Structure 1
C-alpha cells in the first residue's frame, strides 16, 4: 500500500501534471517520496516566491495548472504573494504544502514552522484551501482544488497535508472528477446574436478569458465590423489587424471609442481598474447595451450589464458564430479602430512611445517569442499601447496585484511550458533585485531566456509619481549590482546596450537561442527636480 504522499504524486500525474516547482524541506519529505519514481519533472527555484511565480508563468504559457510544492510555515507564507498575483489575474496554480502534526495545530507550542492558523491564512487568498485531516480526504481535496480550473474563474488553490498524515498508508485513489465549463444557453445566444446583428457601432472588449479563442474572435470581429480593444492579458489576439485596438481602455481616446458604441461586447474581462482606470479616476468608460460573457458568476454581478451571460468565452463564440448573420450592419469598423489607435499613440506621450518602440523592436527581432514582464517602465508603456504577435504571449505583473519580482521566475515557468520557444524577460534593475537568484534555475534547466534588464538605477516610475504630487523623493534609488559581473557569476553571456531600438534588436539577435543570457539597457537615470 502506498503512502498519502505517494498517492498525491500519482493523483497529480492522473490529472495531467507534468511539472512541479518546489524546494524540499524536512516538513515535505513525505510529499516527495513518490516524485523519484514518477515522470513528473521537478524544477528547483531559489525561493518559494519563485516557485509560485514559476507555476504562474507555466500556467499562462501552457494553459495547464502550475503546481508548487512548499514547506510548512515560511514556505507557505513566501508563496502567498504569487497566489495573490494569480488570483488577481485568474491564473490556475495549485500550492501544495505541509503543515505541522495534527495534534499540535492551533496550540502555540512553538514547533518548527508553526503558524497560528496556516489553513486560514491560505484560505484568505486561495479560491479553495483544503486540509487533509485523514488519508481518505486526499481524493476529495484534489477534486475540489482542481475544480475551479475547469468550471469557474481560475486562480490559486491550496492543499495542506499534516506531517503525521503524509507518511500514513493511503486510500486507493479514485478517478479524477471533472466537469465541463459552463455554457451560455441557446436562448441567451439568440438574444446576443440579435442585439449584435441590429447594432451599427459594436465594440468588443477582449480580456484574458478571450486569449485562447483568437481565431473565432477575429472571425466575429470581421463579421460585426467591430473594433477589438484588448486588455493587457489579451494582447496578440488580433495582431496587426485592421480592427485591432491594442491599447489600454484607460486611455481617453479608447474610452471615447467605447462610449460611441451602441453595443459593447465584453469577453472574459473583469473590467478592473488596473486595465480600465489606470489613473485611479474612479470612473471607466460608459458602455451602452453591455453584453458581458464571463465564466465567473461573481464577476457578472459586480458590473451592471444589459445581458450578463455566464459561460466560457470559447464555446460562446463558437455558438454565436453559428447563428449570427454573415453580413455586418456597419462598414466603418476599421476606420474607427484606426482613429482610436492613432489617438491612443499620441496620448501616451513621447517618452512612452520611445519605450514602446523598444518593445516593438524586441518583438520583431524574436518573432513568436513569449514576453514576460515585471513592473518596469517599458512594461508600463507597452501595457498602454503594444501589439504582440501571438495570443497569450505577452503577460506581466504590472496590472492586477502588481507584485515586483515576478518576471524572472515567471519567464522560467513559461520557458519550461514551451520547450524550445524563445522567452524574453523584461525587468527593471529594482524589480530584478527581488528575484535575481532565480536566474540560476534557468541555468540549471538550460532555458532559452534572454533577461533584458532596464537599468535606470532605481524606481524611476515611483520617483516620478512622488515628485508629481510634491512628495520629496525618498527610497527610490537602491544601488543596482554590476549586472555584467552578476551575469558572469551565473555563467551566462552579458551584453550592454543603450536605449536604442536598433541596438537592442541587434543584441537580441546575437543572444544565444539555446540557453540563458542577459542584455542590460542603460536607461535614463531619474534626477529629482530641485525646489
Structure 2
C-alpha cells in the first residue's frame, strides 16, 4: 500500500474527472487496484463488465451516444488481449476510446522472465487498433500524455488511445502535480479557395449526388440545409442514419450496394462525399466491387489519408465536416424545398425500384414498423445478425446516433448487448433496443449480469434461427457443405431469468408490442423471436 498523500493513479482519476469523464468501465485486478484508490467519491461512476471485451464495447456504445470518449481501466496482459477486438471495432468506426492499462514495473519490462501477466510488448500489440499507445515512464509525463489523447478525440479523426502505467508508476507520488484545465483544440477548417471551387462545381451540376458518412453526425442541421440547396439525392452510411429523417424526399437510405443507387452514382455529374470512407461495408456489402462514380468526385474528410483511399477525388478538402458544410452553404444560393424538383424526381424513381427489391423483406419491415409504432424514439444498437442486415436497408430514424451496429468496418460478433448497455448509460431517458442473434449473443451473454447489477433497462430483441444463419446461407450459395453453423442454442429465457432479467418469447406481433410496453426500467428485457411464422415467411 502506498503511503503517498496522492499517487499517480489517484491524480489520473482526478484529472479525468476534471476533463469531463463521468464513467469508467473496468474489471479490477491485482495490477490495477491502485487505479481504483481514487475512484470512490470522485464523481466518476464505475461499471463492472464480465469480460474486458464487454468493457470496450460498453465504452464504444457510450461514446457514440454521448460524443465523449469511453474510458476503460484494463489489467495487464490478458485484460489487454481481451479488449483488442473492441478496440478494433472502435478504430474501424472512428470512435473515441481511452484505454488505461497497467503494465509490469519499469525494470521488468521486456525481460521475459515469466512475471504475472507479462507480455513482450503491449504497445506493439495494440498499435494496429489505436491512434497511439504510450508507456508512462515517469509521473511527470501524465498531464501531457492525457492532453495528447484528448487532442485526438477533440480535433482529429477520433480513435482509441492506449496509455499504460507501470506498477511502480501507478503508486508513485504525484503530490507535486496540479490539475490542468482541458485545452480543447479546434478541428481543422477548410481551405476557402478549395471551398469556392467545390461550390462552383456544385452550382453547375445538373445531377448531383450526396454521400454522407458518420463524420457528419454532429452537423444534422447543416446537412439538411445543404441537401435542400443542392437538390441532391442523398445516401447515408449506416453510422449516418438519421441525418435526414424518414420520408425525406431526397433520402436514398443506406442502399449504396444496390443497383438503383449505384446507377445514380454512375449517372451523377458531381458527387460530394463528406465524412465517409467510401468503404466496403457501406458501399459494397454484396462484395462485387461494382460501386463506381461516373462524374467528378469532391471529398471532404478530417483524415488526410482517407481522402485518397478507395476512390480518388477530383477535389479533396481536409476539414471538419461541420466547418466545411457551413463554408459551402455560404457559397451556395438559398433554395426552398420543392416537391417536384429534379432531385426529388430522381430520388423517387430510385425509391420505387428499391421498394420492389425489398418486397421479399416484408416480414422484417413489419417487425420494425411494429416496434417503432410502440417506441418511436428508440435507439437501436445491433450486432451482426439478420435483423441488423435488413434494418440497415429498411430503417430510417428522425435523428442521428440512434442506429449503429457491428456490421460495419471490423464486423465483430457480440457487440450489440454490451454496446447497448453503454448507450443506455450515456442517455438513460431514451429506450435502447439491442438487436442480437442467437449466435452473437453467446459471445457476450454474461454481460446481462452487468446490466442487472448496474440497473440498466435495455430491451434485447433476440432473433433466433438456431445457428449462424447468414453464414450457412453464404456457404450454401458457394456449394460448400455447411459445417460449424448449426450450433447448439441453449434456453435463452431460462439463462436470462437466471441472471435476473425479464425474459419472454413473443408469440405474435400483438404480444411483442405488449412486451415492449411493459419493459422494466431497472433490468434488461429479453424478447426471443423465433425465425418462424408469424415473424418470418
TM-score interval, normalised by the smaller of the two chains? over 0.9
Structure 2 unaligned runs (5+)?
A: none
- Partners of 1:421 and 1:448 within 8 A in 2: no
Q: What is the CA distance between 1:502 and its match in structure 2?
A: 5.0
Distance 1:270 1:473 in 2: 33
Match of 1:193 in 2: 199
Provide the residue aligned with 1:318 in structure 2. 326
Structure 2 CA distance, aligned partners of 1:348 and 1:399? 21
Query: Is 1:156 matched with 2:166?
Result: no
Which of 126, 130, 133 aligns to 2:130? It is 126
Deviation at 1:389, TM superposition (A): 3.0
2:283 is matched with 276
- Residue 491 of structure 1, aligned match among 494, 497, 500: 500
Normalised by the length of structure 2, the TM-score is: 0.94
1:32 counterpart = 2:40: no
Looking at structure 1, the residues matched to 459 and 335 of structure 2 have their Cα atoms a distance apart, in angstroms, of 45
Please show how residues 49-68 of structure 1 align to structure 2 within 5 Å. Answer: 49-68=53-72
Deviations 1:265-309 (A, max 9, x none): 111101111111112213322241111111110101223111111
Comparing 285-294 with 13-22, greater Cα deviation is found at: 285-294
Partner of residue 18, structure 2: 14
Deviations 1:26-45 (A, max 9, x none): 00111111111300111111
Deviations 1:371-392 (A, max 9, x none): 0000110101122332123211
Match of 2:443 in 1: 434
CA distance in structure 2 between the aligned counterparts of 1:378 and 1:496, rounded to whole angstroms:
16
- Alpha-carbon distance in structure 2 between the residues aligned to 1:518 and 1:225: 43
Task: Pick which of 323-332 and 484-493 moved more.
Answer: 323-332
Q: Which residue of 2 aligns with 1:231?
A: 237
Once the two structures are superposed, the pairs formed by residues 315-464 of structure 1 within 5 Å of their partners are 315-327=323-335, 331-348=341-358, 350=360, 352-464=361-473
Do the aligned partners of 1:247 and 1:254 also contact (CA within 8 Å) in 2?
no
Aligned mate of 1:309, from 311, 317, 320: 317
Output the CA distance in 2 between the equivalents of 1:440 and 1:521. Answer: 21
Tell me, in whole angstroms, the C-alpha distance in 2 between the residues paired with 1:258 and 1:14. Answer: 47
- Say whether residues 1:202 and 2:208 are aligned partners: yes
Aligned equivalent of 2:528: 520
Q: State the shift of 1:106 in Å.
A: 0.9
**In 2: Cα distance, 1:271 partner to 1:144 partner:** 28
Deviation at 1:50, TM superposition (A): 0.3
Cα separation, 2, equivalents of 1:39 and 1:269: 36
User: Aligned Cα RMSD in Å?
Assistant: 1.8
Partner of 2:517: 509
Select 2:217's aligned residue among 200, 211, 215. 211
After the TM superposition, which residues 88-103 of structure 1 pair with which residues of structure 2 at under 5 Å, given as runs?
A: 88-103=92-107
Partner of 1:528: none
> Which residue of structure 1 lines up, in the alignment, with residue 114 of structure 2?
110
Shift of 1:18: 0.9
SS of 1:24's partner is: coil
Q: What is the CA–CA distance in structure 1 between the aligned matches of 2:120 and 2:482, rounded to whole Å?
A: 38
Distance 1:33 1:485 in 2: 38
Whole-Å separation in 2 of the counterparts to 1:306 and 1:501: 50
SS of the residue corresponding to residue 99 of structure 2 reads strand
Aligned residues: 523
Gap regions ≥5 residues in structure 1: 526-531
What's 1:529 paired with? none
For normalisation by structure 1, the TM-score amounts to: 0.95
Q: Distance in 2 between matches of 1:177 and 1:326?
A: 36
What's the CA shift for 1:357?
3.0
Please state if 1:220 is matched with 2:226: yes
Cα separation, 2, equivalents of 1:349 and 1:285:
26
- Indicate conservation of the 8 Å contact 1:209/1:267, yes or no: yes
